[in-house]
Amino acid sequence: MSTPTSPTKPGSPAKMPAPPPGPPPPENVLPPMPPGPPPTENIIDPKKKREREEDDSRRKKKKRVKIELERDLDNGIGWPSGRPREPRYRHGWFLPTHERVFERVLADVGEVKVILELGSWYGSSTEWLCERCPDAAVYAVDLWDDSFILDKQRDHYSTMGDRKLENLLNNHPLWDTFLANLWSFSRSSGDDYGHYESVRNAVTECALEFNKFIHVDQNRWTYHRGSPDMVETFKPKPKATDSFASLLAGYA
């Protein structure tokens, strides 16, 4: 006897046959990748990553140096308010042969008004120049950055040996020791005093703030330590935007 079927109403759709047994079809699965090298869109090149990190580090350091420069100019007009605690210490490669060469150059030049020294270390040559040219403005340029020397320039001082170099910088920090060596010559000077009112106002503002004498020789100005009574004669009220730090910040 045949198995009875369920009755259907006239016009009703016929039932679909059941799907064959097996796993259900996968959903939201991407088709397989074609043969070939893997994509490189999200793979970071280590070299480019390192270059970006170095660029970021340089930008941050430049910003930090600018902030420190503005702070130092505001607080000390290029020199700290008090002498560093470090004792004087002479070290460097300024030898008697160099002294003879410098003496010959100074004799040939005659009157010297400005000296720019690129690389000063602990200031042996700077001090010699200040002593030989007391009427000149001596500008010493250096990083005075102990950590930079130890991190980036060890090979430059390889003849000293790593341990000797570390001991030298730990016992005699470059910047503070340089200031201690040159402290007796510390003074700030500049020009354009007679040309620009903003310069006169900025110089006056700092003189009032730090109790300095202002010596003016035509267009040049120089600070000397003195009584605030002396600088009160320079009375033009400086504008807030004409501070000494803001005047020089653009050159940082």
What are 212-240's pLDDT values in tens digits? 777 777 777 776 654 434 433 343 344 44
Domain match, 100 and 165 both: yes
Please tell me whether residues 196 and 224 are part of one structural domain.
yes
Buried b / exposed e across 150-174, counting CB within 10 Å, b at 16+?
A: eeeeeeeeeeeeeeebeebbeebbb
> Is residue 31 included in any domain, yes or no?
no
Give yes or no: residues 168 and 209 share one domain: no
Distance (Å, whole) CA 232 – CA 93: 45
Percent of the chain with pLDDT over 90: 10
Q: For the chain, give the percent of residues with pLDDT over 70.
A: 60
Q: Which domain holds residue 134?
A: 96-185
- The residue with greater pLDDT, 140 or 198, is 140
Please check whether residues 179 and 237 belong to one and the same domain: no
Total tally of structural domains belonging to the chain: 2
- What is the residue whose two structure tokens read 């490189």? 40
pLDDT tens, residue by residue, 28-40: 666 676 676 665 5
Say whether pLDDT at 125 is over 90. yes
Residue 46 lies in a domain: no
Q: Are residues 195 and 241 in the same domain?
A: yes
Closest by Cα among 215, 69, 235 to 137 = 215
- Residue 171 sits in the same domain as residue 200: no
- Confidence (pLDDT) at 127: 92
Give the pTM: 0.46
Q: How buried is residue 106: exposed, middle or buried, by Cβ count under 10 Å (0-12/13-18/19+)?
A: middle
Domain co-membership, 177 together with 195: no
